Structure 1
Amino acid sequence: MKKSLQLFYSFLKKPQPLKFSHNRKELVKDFFSILLLNFCFAILLLSVLSCFAHFNLVNVYEGPNFLNEYGIIGTFIFVCIFAPISEELVFRWHLKDINGTIYFVSLSIAIIIVSYLSNSWIKFAVVTIALLAAANVISSIRTKNRFLSIRIWKKAYPYLFYFTALIFGLVHLSNYKDLSITDPSFVFYIGSQAFGALGLGYIRIKNGLIYAILLHALYNFICFSILAIVH
């Protein structure tokens, strides 16, 4: 476990699109080390948030209550199956594909811009321009020096990796009613998701998308089980 965490820490210092590892023993160690690390961080963050909330140092926001809304079976399907598969496809698939990366960055920027707009036609135009811009960049890469493009991609990869984790965290702002980035306490509410995205990204890059989905599903299943028992 110690070695797995050391390798993860080394990766975080300079993320790179690693070659796939076929070492099953190492995979199991990495998988459960990242899982435990994510839970430890989440518990630490929740403890700090609870302490701050007790002394009225942060605002308290209402989180999602899927059990009341969808029931146990519906919540299980949504949280443990649908969310891990869809979120990993959207937020981690592109980490090994330069074309997917271009589309992800373009659409992420477009969605951030759109979130500040009210006119539907302007929103549509922004997203359309983002897609066309991404397609144009990909077309240029294919007709020009692809090796140079890959070199640039690798140099920019650390920024891409952390950008992906940040966007993943920010998306979860919608889980809390009235919470936005204008309130500094948002860090405590989405910090565990952003941090968890780092481990999920690492597993996806090193071992493949399916293992990132499984890790995400297992983490959610444990959280779901605890909430179901308490509920």
Structure 2
Amino acid sequence: MIPPVFQDFLIFLRSPSKAESYTKMPAGGFLVLLLVALALAIPFSVLLEWLGVNQFDSLLEKMLAENKMPVVFAVIFLAPLLEEPIFRLHLDLKITSIWWGLGLSILMISQQWYVTAVFIVYLVYLLLKVFRHRPPNLKFVIYTSSTFFALIHLGNFSNFELADHFYWIPFLVAAQFFIGLILSYIRLTYGIWYAILFHAVYNAILIIPSVYFYEP
């Protein structure tokens, strides 16, 4: 039997909508979506290793080798607190939400600046459309936002060159794209704080084992 929250998520992917009022996210639903996210991410990381992703130098591994605890703090707490308002807050298509995304996106300039530049243009486009009372299709906004969320994670690889390795992009960011869709569902169904919490727990599950098992 498919859990109701997963059924709702699949419906959301086909025809996304925003809840009229946010409710408390059930613990069971939180756990189901977390398991779905991990079921996507963990096997995919194994596949990437098999395909030869180790040719790209991981910035995370380098930072863990230099100073583990600040990196863990940044990944679990700072990343969700910044990335969710940047990539998900504007999904409600409110002018103030889009302005917040624009302001905070400046913090990403040093990470994949060309992706950030296009993302800022996209947010300005949204702002103009909403200001003119002609908001774009919500499905377009959700999938576009998830795409930018995925692409910004190309910055996790220090020696990735777009011109030379463009064919790797779908493999390197596919997991982040699907995680972005899950976070979009949570944000529009239960609110931005549940999306931040989910993002933090997901990151914690992935990063904490690295503290104990990573070997330089």
With normalisation by structure 2, the TM-score equals: 0.78
When residues 2 and 161 of structure 1 are mapped into structure 2, their CA distance, relative to the original with a 3 A threshold, is same
Q: Deviations over 1:167-203 (max 9, x none)?
A: 0000111111232454212222222111111111111
1:47-58 mapped onto 2 (5 Å cutoff)? 47-53=46-52
Contact kept? 2:88, 2:192, Cα under 8 Å: yes
- Report SS of the residue matched to 2:167: coil
- Computing the radius of gyration over CA atoms, which structure comes out larger, 1 or 2? 1
Paired-residue identity, %? 26
- Report SS of the residue matched to 2:198: helix
Aligned to 2:70: 74
The question of 1:156 aligning with 2:137 is answered yes
The question of 1:167 aligning with 2:148 is answered yes
Structure 2 counterpart of 1:214, which letter?
A: L
In 2: Cα distance, 1:97 partner to 1:164 partner: 12
For structure 1, which runs of at least 5 residues remain unmatched after alignment? 117-122, 142-148
Contact kept? 1:180, 1:186, Cα under 8 Å: no
Residues matched between the structures, number: 200
Aligned to 1:60: 55
When residues 136 and 49 of structure 1 are mapped into structure 2, their CA distance, relative to the original with a 3 A threshold, is closer
1:86 Cα deviation from its structure 2 partner: 0.6
- Among candidates 83, 97, 104, match of residue 87 of structure 1: 83
Contact kept? 1:46, 1:188, Cα under 8 Å: no
Contact kept? 2:34, 2:202, Cα under 8 Å: yes
With normalisation by structure 1, the TM-score equals: 0.73
Aligned to 1:6: 7
For structure 2, which runs of at least 5 residues remain unmatched after alignment? none
The question of 1:194 aligning with 2:177 is answered yes
1:132 Cα deviation from its structure 2 partner: 7.6
When residues 135 and 213 of structure 1 are mapped into structure 2, their CA distance, relative to the original with a 3 A threshold, is closer
In 2: Cα distance, 1:77 partner to 1:10 partner: 35
- TM-align CA RMSD: 3.3
Contact kept? 2:149, 2:180, Cα under 8 Å: yes
